[in-house]
Amino acid sequence: MRATSSSGSGPCSPGAPAAAGRSWPPERCASPCCSRRAGTPWRTPRRCSSTCSAVGTSPTAASRPWTSSTRRGTAPWRCWPASSPARGRLPVTRSAQRPRVAREAHPLVYYFLGSSRSGGNDVARPPAPVAPTRARTAAQRAGAPSGKAPGGFRPDVEGLRAVALGLVLLFHAGVPGSGGGRLGVDVFFVISGFLITGLLVREVERTGRMGLAAFYARRARRILPAAVVVLVVTLAATAALAPRMLGETGRDGLAAALQVANWRSALADPVDLHPDAAASPLLHYWSLAVEEQFYLLWPALVLLVVAVARRRGTSLRRSLAVAAGAVAVVSLACSVLLTPLLPTLAYLSSPTRAWQLAAGALLALATPRLEELAGSGRLGDRLGGRLGGRLGGRLGGRLGGRLGGLRRGVPALGWLALAVVLSSSLWTDDVPYPGWAALVPTLGTVALIAVGTPGLARGAGPSGVGRLLAARPVRWAGRASYSWYLWHVPVVFAGERLGLSGWPALLALELLVAGPLAALTLVAVEQPFRTSPRFAGARRGLLLGAVATAVAVGASLVAVAAA
């Protein structure tokens, strides 16, 4: 069937060269593949490059309406590309006569319908590749970032870790004018929420499942080996340089091994906000505990949202955005209320920091929309086209021409966001923190990550601040930032015990001693445990995590007993 638009503008079926892969203006279209219901206009331009198909019919009759979402009892239909192996297979009603759909048919099939042959595996088999459609090849010729998984590797995000690390190093060295450098951990929190949420959501969209065991195994391989090595070495150095502090440091190590270091510090003195590095060489493990607690609870929330979205037939990303938004609002309210009353509790506790991780999660959920805008080639035309759907094609076209300059302003926005984050490090202790003040570096970090979306600015490669963050030296510092962060406080602690003082000496220690130690740990500990096939798989990863935790707990108990 080749349907024509009511305005007589031509065919709108997938086989029509004039229509395939192009955005349609808002008009009435008689084909159910071009409008939600026959004879109803689109509110916004849509692409007509797929074939609406159902069991036994290809394409479906124009009299049968279809929707783009799955709802119980409404007998909707889903459209598939003409080259998809799932064509003509999928009625998405919950009727008992529904045929079994192979998980290889399409990632969305397995997501909405699940699998009756999972066999208890926590990682499902990936779907079979789909042949490229005419729209996809056209986008590739236009230079759009196609073929790339949404939210894939971002070199600028890796470089942004170096910025966060630099702020923390300056703060703990006591460099004048870096009193707000402690907000570097805020940047780390936003990055963690962005990356982890992107990984979880893409796994659900790709396989229809989320393997909790595999996720926790990956976290264990990534975080625990280096953390345990630094903890054991720190306990040994404390025994040699400050034996009187060995018992207290051992208790700090026990809390760090059990991922509750933030609660130990917060409940010990809820009022004193700024203990220095001399107080405990394991002081900085509190931020790792906050992230680990997030990693423990956030996947469970994602699973709950997946179940609700699947039952209601709603979008996973929209449902998860609502949940993340609720977490952010409640957490920010707790932070604002507790900051003037119990500043240490507000600074170190997980409930008052969860909103920063949720901010990164919200950005990860919006990444496909940003990449869609980037792939459209002209951001202003895309916005103008959407406005045209509501205000009229001519007015929308004029607005699109004027909004075309938005792409030129993206690099400037990136530089502005970086300036906001760096200038926040100049704050003094007179600024109540976190509270409302934490919004400044948090939103600045969100903006930095957002403007780095590939293709959002003019040009295919990184531009502006993204080019700076993606430079090789900056990326290397970001890659080693985790180990560097682990080593810098014990190195400062040892230097102060050996009689060194003053910010130039302490900063030199962080750069010349902690830096090489971080590089050695990255090469000898982090990368082997994370990438070696010996530790691949959920069982081996979880076993590695259990052994690492047991070693850290044992070393801490020995330190406490020897004190």
State mean pLDDT over 399-428: 76
pLDDT > 90? residue 160: yes
More confident residue, 236 or 27: 236
pLDDT > 60? residue 126: no
More confident residue, 138 or 161: 161
More confident residue, 442 or 94: 442
Tell me the per-residue pLDDT of 61-101, one tens digit each, with 9 for 90 and over.
Answer: 333 333 333 333 333 334 434 333 333 333 333 333 333 33
9 three-state secondary structure? coil
Tell me the per-residue pLDDT of 187-217, one tens digit each, with 9 for 90 and over.
Answer: 999 999 999 999 999 999 888 888 899 999 9
235's tokens = 């306990």
Q: How confident is the model at residue 406 (pLDDT cuts 50, 70, 90)?
A: low
Contacts (Cβ under 8 Å, ≥6 apart) of 435 = 335, 336, 339, 340, 346
390's tokens = 């509501």
pLDDT > 90? residue 327: yes
3-state helix, strand and coil shares in percent for the chain, rounded to the nearest 5: 60, 0, 35
pLDDT > 60? residue 555: yes
State mean pLDDT over 345-366: 94
The rounded distance, in Å, linking the Cα atoms of 188 and 194 is 10
Spatial CA neighbour of 400 closest among 427, 373, 437, 439 = 373
The confidence score (pLDDT) of residue 11 equals: 39
The confidence score (pLDDT) of residue 464 equals: 79
Distances from the Cα of 110 to the Cα of 91, 104, 260, 471, 551, angstroms: 13, 8, 38, 40, 41
More confident residue, 250 or 30: 250
- Count the neighbouring beta carbons within 10 Å of the beta carbon of residue 473: 9
Chain length of the chain:
563
229's tokens = 């090595």
Tell me the per-residue pLDDT of 504-539, one tens digit each, with 9 for 90 and over.
Answer: 999 999 999 999 999 999 999 999 999 888 888 899
The confidence score (pLDDT) of residue 142 equals: 34
The confidence score (pLDDT) of residue 517 equals: 97
The confidence score (pLDDT) of residue 305 equals: 92
Phi, psi of 523 (to 5 degrees): -80, -40
pLDDT > 70? residue 376: no
57 three-state secondary structure? strand
Tell me the per-residue pLDDT of 268-319, one tens digit each, with 9 for 90 and over.
Answer: 876 665 555 457 899 899 999 999 999 999 999 999 999 999 898 888 999 9
State mean pLDDT over 160-167: 95
Helix H or strand E encompassing 477: helix 472-479
Q: pTM above 0.75?
A: no
Q: How confident is the model at residue 383 (pLDDT cuts 50, 70, 90)?
A: low
The confidence score (pLDDT) of residue 159 equals: 93
| Crossing angle of helices 155-173 and 184-207, rounded to 10° | 150
The rounded distance, in Å, linking the Cα atoms of 487 and 469 is 23
Q: What is the DSSP string of 425-438?
A: TT--TTS--SGGGG
Domain locations in the chain as residue ranges: 166-377+399-561
The pairs formed by 66-72 with CB atoms below 8 angstroms and a separation of 24 or more are: 66/32, 66/33, 66/36, 67/36, 68/36, 69/313, 69/314, 69/315, 70/112, 70/313, 71/312, 71/313, 72/311, 72/313
Q: How confident is the model at residue 355 (pLDDT cuts 50, 70, 90)?
A: very high
The confidence score (pLDDT) of residue 537 equals: 87
Q: If you compute the radius of gyration of the chain from its CA atoms, what whole number of angstroms results?
A: 27
The confidence score (pLDDT) of residue 235 equals: 96
Arithmetic mean of pLDDT over the chain: 74
Look at 1-5, 104-108, 370-374 and tell me which has the smallest mean pLDDT.
Answer: 104-108
For residues 173 and 492, the answer to whether their CB atoms sit within 8 Å is yes
**352: burial class by Cβ within 10 Å (0-12, 13-18, 19+)?**
buried
**439: burial class by Cβ within 10 Å (0-12, 13-18, 19+)?**
middle
